[in-house]
């Protein structure tokens, strides 16, 4: 009757042997028939070779799989992909490389709601991600992504509310991001190499509440789409935040354009302070002269 099992930070190096449970295919016996959540995170010795090929057969009801801070890679173990009913998969800070499994959204994990692959070395994703109709949150921070293909996200991602792409190598965003305008509330693209943003993003994504574009390469105000400036305004000269729309927090600090505005403002304030100081000094000298 076990529903949750945590093996977090247990010093595991192998889960081999679990497949030796006396399973009888005729009566459907499995080791954990009702388990819904499994956490094997922070076991850095766990690799793809640590899992038996039939690992998934012991968890027919699993909904949440947590594998953060392990050493799975360079691809996702096939037996984990066979967990067809999962709603949440977390594999942050592992050793995944290259393209994220193309079959996700096509033949694997079709019911997933939260997919977290932060802190790996992924350089691309397959278009299958754009087919995940139940996907609510997609975390791909701290990878090596240079672009997202058109169609990721897509109109089929009818449940997507959060898209986290921070700390990658993105130089642009796909126009198809507008296809999730009716659901997207949080968009994080800070720490990339973006030079501009898609036209219409600010206008159509009316439900946005958090929009982080900090520390990119937006060099001039003219590179910001007109709909962006109309809705959010230009960044504050000190904080770098756009505050025109009270319903959405927009961050632009760390972009060349915002930093120039900040530097110019600080230099102007410094000059004003110096001029004021000189005026006060002159006034004091005049008073002293009158006293004499």
Comparing 87-101, 247-261, 278-292, the range with the smallest average pLDDT is: 278-292
What is the DSSP pairing of strand 249-251 with strand 241-242? antiparallel
What does pTM read for this prediction?
0.91
**What is the reported pLDDT for 22?**
58
Is residue 285 pLDDT above 80, yes or no?
no
Q: Looking at residue 24, what is its pLDDT?
A: 46
What is the C-alpha separation between 162 and 184, in angstroms, rounded?
Answer: 6
- Candidate from 21-30, 186-195, 272-281 with smallest mean pLDDT: 21-30
pLDDT category, 29, cuts 50, 70, 90?
confident
- Whole-angstrom distance, CA of residue 247 vs CA of residue 9: 40
Q: What is the pLDDT of the chain when averaged over all its residues?
A: 93
**Collapsing DSSP states into helix, strand and coil, what is residue 172?**
coil
Q: Whole-angstrom Cα distance, residue 223 to residue 126? A: 29
CA–CA distance, 153 with 135 (Å, rounded to integer): 10
pLDDT for residue 28 is more than 70: no
Q: Is the pLDDT reported for residue 257 higher than 90?
A: yes
Rounded CA separation 181/170 (Å)? 20
Q: Up-side HSE of residue 179: CA atoms within 13 Å toward CB?
A: 17
% of the chain beyond a pLDDT of 70: 95
Give me the pLDDT at residue 20, please: 61
Angle ∠(130,134,135) on CA atoms, nearest 5: 60
């Amino acid at each position: 009757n076990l529903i949750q099992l945590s093996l977090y930070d247990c010093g595991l190096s192998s889960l081999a042997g679990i497949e030796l449970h006396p399973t009888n295919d005729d009566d459907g016996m499995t080791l954990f028939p009702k388990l819904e959540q499994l956490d094997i995170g922070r076991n850095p010795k766990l690799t793809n070779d640590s899992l038996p090929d039939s690992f998934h057969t012991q968890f027919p009801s699993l909904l949440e799989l947590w594998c953060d801070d392990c050493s799975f890679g360079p691809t996702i173990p096939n037996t984990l992909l066979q967990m067809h009913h999962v709603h949440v998969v977390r594999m942050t800070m592992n050793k995944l490389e290259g393209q994220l499994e193309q079959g996700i959204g096509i033949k694997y994990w079709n019911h997933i709601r939260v997919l977290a692959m932060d802190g790996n070395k992924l350089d691309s994703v397959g278009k299958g991600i754009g087919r995940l109709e139940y996907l609510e949150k997609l975390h791909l921070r701290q990878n090596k992504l240079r672009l997202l293909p058109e169609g990721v996200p897509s109109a089929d991602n009818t449940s997507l509310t959060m898209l986290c792409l921070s700390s990658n190598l993105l130089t642009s965003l796909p126009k198809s991001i507008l296809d999730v305008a009716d659901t997207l509330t949080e968009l994080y693209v800070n720490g990339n190499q973006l030079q501009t943003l898609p036209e219409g993003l600010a206008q159509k994504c009316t439900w946005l509440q958090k929009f982080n574009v900090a520390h990119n390469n937006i060099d001039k105000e003219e590179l910001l789409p007109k709909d962006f400036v109309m809705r959010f305004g230009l960044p504050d000269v000190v904080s770098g935040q756009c505050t025109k729309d009270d319903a959405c927090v927009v961050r632009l600090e760390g972009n060349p354009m915002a930093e120039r505005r900040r530097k110019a403002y600080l230099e102007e304030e410094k000059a004003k302070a110096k001029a004021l100081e000189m005026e006060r000094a002159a006034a004091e000298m005049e008073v002293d002269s009158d006293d004499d």
